[in-house]
Amino acid sequence: MMTLSRFIAIMIRNRDAARELERMSLYDQMTGLLNRRGLSNYFNNLPKGISCAFVFGDVNGLKRMNDVHGHEAGDVLIKTVARIMQRAQQDAGEGHVFRMGGDEFLMIVEHADGQKTVAIIQSLRDAFRANNVSVALGHLTCMTPISDIDAIITKVDREMYKDKGRQKR
């Protein structure tokens, strides 16, 4: 009986460890946001027949922040942007924010038409300005199902680079 209970305890610990590793593989450690792998899982479960807003953000000046004030200050900047985007997404409705890597973020808001997307962008710009943060934003609204998330990311990334160019001018 003792051997059986030890065996069961080990199996439960292994199961719990595997679940924790799976959870950790979906989230960015620094921000707590879902990562690219989390995006893939989320995207595959998006309901069909809904309009979604895709907002891509790229932090301006992160390299300079790291060079002048150190990487801890850069980390604070990334966390600030993550917090602002997450709050805006929660205010807008169903969806998630993903850290795509480095200083790039993707927000998806479900049930968002063009007008709501413009309001989200304005809300983000106001919040970034209030926190003295500069972020270039690109946005796109489209209906599900979407066959290729990479194509959407490419399009919204191009829009973001247009905004980055406008901000530099």
pLDDT tens digit sequence for 51-69? 999 999 999 999 999 999 9
Enter the pTM of the model. Answer: 0.85
Q: How far apart are CA 110 and CA 13, in angstroms?
A: 37
pLDDT tens digit sequence for 79-123? 999 999 999 999 998 989 999 989 999 999 999 999 999 999 999
Q: How far apart are CA 129 and CA 120, in angstroms?
A: 14
Enumerate the H helices of the chain as residue ranges: 2-26, 36-44, 62-69, 71-92, 114-130, 149-168
